[in-house]
Chain A
Amino acid sequence: MDAQTLASTGISALMLSAIYILMALGFALLLSVMGVLNFAHSALYMVAGYICYEFTVGFGLSGWLSLILTVVVMGAFGVFLERFCFRPFFGDTNRIIVIALALIVILESLMNILVGTAVRKVPDFISGTIKFSGFQVSQQRILVTFIGAAVLIALIILIQNTRRGQQMLAVAQDFVGATLQGINIYRTMAFATVIACALAALAGSLGGAVYYLNPFIGDQMLVKAIEVVILAGIGSISGVFAGGLILGIIDAFLPMVLSGVATDATGLGIVVLILLFRPQGLFGHEA
């Protein structure tokens, strides 16, 4: 493998890992703090991409402002989501699955009706390549990787060092025990949902700039998010980082070796194989 291919694939692996972790962390938060299997995460990813597009192209704002605004808007949507879609059905997994699926159906078809025929893409945050002595790489991909990593690190620090964050971890560990400690469950759950939506929004906006937008880009991302969370193990927040990194590397390097559809199957197969030997995930607690 020559320098260009290695550099390009390596950057790709890191960038994919960053996006996967952004999605997976939000999904994991919802799962461990609230027990919610949020299938609608894919719709959040997609809607965020379109919102970012509207801010940038429709309103003419700068790329960075649009990004921040999108994250804020989607975070606010998280409040709505928690209050009206998750809280009423708290504890009833089946109904939460149905409402999440209803969200996907409604959001995807709404988007299809409104903007379906137009092929769109969030404008590049920065374009062009950085040239090194033997190879060149896309500036935007490096930037996306850095943004993702920075946000994630900041988030982890935030979670572990603020009261809200620690409350979240407490609820994730032991729901009943947390209530006995006097933690306001509903506020914590809202907090978790807001963070999850904000992370998905960041992933969606960045993904929308690196790739493209259409009403169905979220579906693939959802599968990846679930892969990472299951690989890491439910209940483990730091495991998501390792899981995301592993999956990013697999998804970037495997196509170099295999061809076509076989790459999808093999990538998943590796994950399933790992789970065969460690059903609770790499870092999870015994089920």
Chain B
Amino acid sequence: MGGLIGLIVLLFLLPMIIQQQTYYLHVFIIVLIYIIVVSSLRTVALSGQLSVGHAAFMGVGAYFSGVITRELAISPWLAIPLGGLASMLVAVLIGYPFTRVRAIYFSMISLFGGIIIVDLIMVAQKWTGAAGLANIPLLSPINIPGIGNITFLGQKLPYYYCTLILTLVCLFILYRLEHSRVGINWKAIAQSHMVASSVGINEAYYRVLALAVGCFFAGLAGAWYAHYTLVLGTSTFGFLPSIYLVMYMLVGGQKRFAGPIIGTTILVMVPELVRSLKESAPLVLGAIMVIVVFLMPQGIVGLFDQIRVRYRKSNKRKVTESVAGN
């Protein structure tokens, strides 16, 4: 717990540490946004549904918010949660008919669903501009009593802090959900849907709930992303990005809550750090994946568990030896 608080304090002080180098602030903001998305993917996966189309739901939120702020002059602060709701709605509408579909069938249908959603966004090009949506409004200035007026125009720092706060709030909600009754039901369904049903857990309801929650946060993060980058391209939400999201989660480790966080951070930051390698940069990514998959069965978080187990074992041996010595 103490370590967690220390980490959060560090994150707040981060801009000072890196002396506000704008490029790295940009990278951190992107990492934070994707942490929300991948964590929400894990929430959906908790109920046994591995969605390989999650990036599309990020896209729904992004485009919805982008379009309504462009066309209807709504404030982005209002539009962003609406983007999350839109994504949630789409997820429920699509997910509900497929609650009988399990395991790999579900994953593949989610893959198709993701592609269809992005294609439909392109079909609606009158509003979404097909390959690119431009001129999305920035976050409008806010007035915080005590601090004064904060504008977002041309400033990375306000964006960083707001994104950090958003990410922490979202992660907190997801964490609490996972450790609540709802989360326990999700895990029950994932383990064995038959046993869960026999105990009275309504599988369809909880599965749709998982989808709704997961896609709400994905859409929320997507809408936030839209008002940060101010330009959207369908390439960001296609099937390859969806597969990458799954990869971030698996490499980080699916079993623990911190898995997606660690996985996303490493797999997004490292390619940015090795930008100078130009064409060879993806190879570094591939190398990391190979190392993780061979050496860390539970993902990177699994590594910590392995170390902890070994530490405890050696401690126990020390105690036994000292007791035996006496």
A residues contacting B by CB (< 8 A) are 31, 37, 39, 88-89, 92, 94-95, 97-99, 101-102, 105-106, 108-110, 112-113, 116, 219, 223, 226-227, 229-230, 234, 260-262, 264-265, 268-269, 271-272, 275-276, 279-281, 287
Contacts and interface: CB of A to CB of B under 8 A. Distances in A.
Interface in B102-119: 102-105, 107-109, 111-113, 115-116, 119
Interface in B70-118: 97-98, 100-105, 107-109, 111-113, 115-116
B282 A108 contact: yes
Contact of B112 (A108, A260, A271): A271
Contacts of B247: 97-98, 101
Contacts of A101: 243, 247, 289
Interface stretch (B31-39, B149-157, B291-299): B291-299
A279 B293 contact: no
Highest count of chain B CB atoms <10 Å: which of A116, A260, A279, A281: A279
Contacts of A260: 123
Highest count of chain B CB atoms <10 Å: which of A102, A116, A219, A271: A102
Highest count of chain B CB atoms <10 Å: which of A97, A261, A276, A279: A261
B250 interface: yes
Given A102-B289, A105-B282, A262-B123, A272 B116 contact: yes
Contacts of A95: 250, 293, 297
Contacts of A279: 98, 100-101, 105
Contacts of B292: 98
Interface of B: 97-98, 100-105, 107-109, 111-113, 115-116, 119-120, 122-123, 130, 239-240, 243, 246-247, 250-251, 254, 279-283, 285-287, 289-290, 292-294, 297
A98 B289 contact: yes
A30 B112 CA distance: 20
B115 A223 contact: yes
8 contacts: A97-B246, A98-B247, A106-B283, A106-B290, A113-B279, A113-B280, A262-B119, A268-B112
Contacts of A97: 246-247, 250
Nearest to A222: B239
A51 B97 CA distance: 44
A109 B280 contact: yes
A94 B250 contact: yes
Given A109-B279, A112-B279, A265 B286 contact: no
Nearest to A97: B250
B98 A223 contact: no
A264 B105 CA distance: 20
A265 B100 CA distance: 23
Given A109-B280, A226-B108, A265 B254 contact: no
A98 B250 contact: yes
B46 to A, nearest CB: 14
Nearest to B281: A109
Contacts of B279: 109, 112-113, 116
Contacts of A219: 239-240
Contacts of A31: 104
A273 B296 CA distance: 39
Contacts of B250: 94-95, 97-98
Nearest to A39: B243
A281 B101 CA distance: 11
A31 B239 CA distance: 20
A197 B120 CA distance: 34
